[in-house]
């Protein structure tokens, strides 16, 4: 079917994809806008995976102060070029990540950063809980693995549901941004401050 310029422009505005990519996706989707978006997302994520190994030596340090000044976040997000670092899309991504960190309080960027001693400590707790609740010995390891996986997904930034769109994770948002901007992007580190955190009540 013939695809009109108006539809191509709308799809491009909604996805940031190139004109020819938009035209091809709309043709493949038979003019269905939502289906075309899904096609572009699928292709984009595939491209994002290929970019994952590229060196990232540019980027931004973003900040977010929650209303009332009780919570503050600094986050470093890296990309390949200064050109992309200066784009509005990249700046918005950094801002969204900082805001998410303020709201969801992750402890690590990814599960590979979680120290082994913390994982072992959690596993011992889960094993003890399972034994004390009378679970059969043969399924305790499976229970421990499942609970540890859930725990890590809750404390690691990339695995948390994105605060502005819980249907996708922060990792999903990252991959979409990589696909849209055409460069490898990495959330390197962050720090989150909460007023009086760690102080014992007097």
In a shared domain, residues 144 and 175: no
In a shared domain, residues 38 and 123: no
In a shared domain, residues 106 and 65: yes
Rounded Cα–Cα distance for residues 155 and 164 (Å): 18
Rounded Cα–Cα distance for residues 141 and 144 (Å): 5
Indicate whether 201 belongs to any domain: no
In a shared domain, residues 179 and 161: yes
Domain range enclosing 124: 115-154
In a shared domain, residues 103 and 119: no
CATH code for the domain of 127: 1.10.286.20
pTM here is 0.71
Indicate whether 141 belongs to any domain: yes
Rounded Cα–Cα distance for residues 135 and 55 (Å): 48
CATH code for the domain of 21: 1.10.8.10
Indicate whether 29 belongs to any domain: yes
In a shared domain, residues 106 and 67: yes
pLDDT tens, N- to C-terminus, the chain (202 residues)? 577 888 888 887 676 666 777 888 889 888 888 888 888 777 765 566 666 666 677 999 999 998 789 999 999 999 999 999 999 999 999 999 999 999 999 999 999 999 999 999 999 999 999 888 888 888 988 999 999 999 999 999 999 999 999 988 999 899 889 988 988 899 999 999 998 887 765 4
Q: How far is CA 194 from CA 70, 73, 106, 107, 201, in A?
A: 6, 9, 13, 13, 15
Indicate whether 200 belongs to any domain: no
In a shared domain, residues 101 and 182: yes
CA 105 remoteness from chain centre: 14
> For residue 50, what pLDDT is reported?
61
Rounded Cα–Cα distance for residues 19 and 201 (Å): 59
> For residue 52, what pLDDT is reported?
62
Q: How many helices (H) and strands (E) does the chain have?
A: 8, 5
Query: What is the total count of domains within the chain?
Result: 3
> For residue 202, what pLDDT is reported?
46
In a shared domain, residues 44 and 70: no
> For residue 67, what pLDDT is reported?
76
In a shared domain, residues 86 and 165: yes
> For residue 3, what pLDDT is reported?
78
């Amino acid at each position: 079917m013939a695809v009109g310029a108006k539809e191509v422009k709308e799809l491009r505005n909604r996805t940031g994809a190139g004109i020819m990519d938009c035209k091809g996706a709309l043709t493949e989707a038979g003019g269905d806008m939502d289906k075309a978006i899904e096609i572009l997302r699928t292709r984009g994520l595939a491209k994002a995976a290929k970019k994952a190994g590229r060196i990232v030596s540019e980027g931004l340090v973003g900040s977010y102060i929650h209303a009332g000044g009780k919570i503050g976040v600094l986050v470093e997000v890296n990309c390949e070029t200064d050109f992309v670092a200066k784009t509005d899309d990249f700046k918005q991504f950094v801002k969204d990540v900082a805001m998410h960190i303020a709201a969801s309080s992750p402890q690590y960027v990814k599960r590979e950063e979680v120290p082994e001693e913390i994982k072992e400590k959690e596993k011992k707790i889960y094993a003890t809980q399972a034994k004390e609740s009378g679970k059969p010995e043969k399924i305790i390891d499976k229970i421990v693995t499942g609970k540890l996986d859930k725990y890590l997904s809750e404390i690691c930034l990339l695995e948390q549901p994105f605060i502005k769109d819980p249907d996708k994770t922060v990792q999903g948002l990252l991959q979409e941004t990589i696909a849209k901007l055409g460069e490898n992007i990495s959330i390197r580190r962050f720090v989150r401050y909460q007023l009086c955190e760690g102080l014992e009540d007097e």
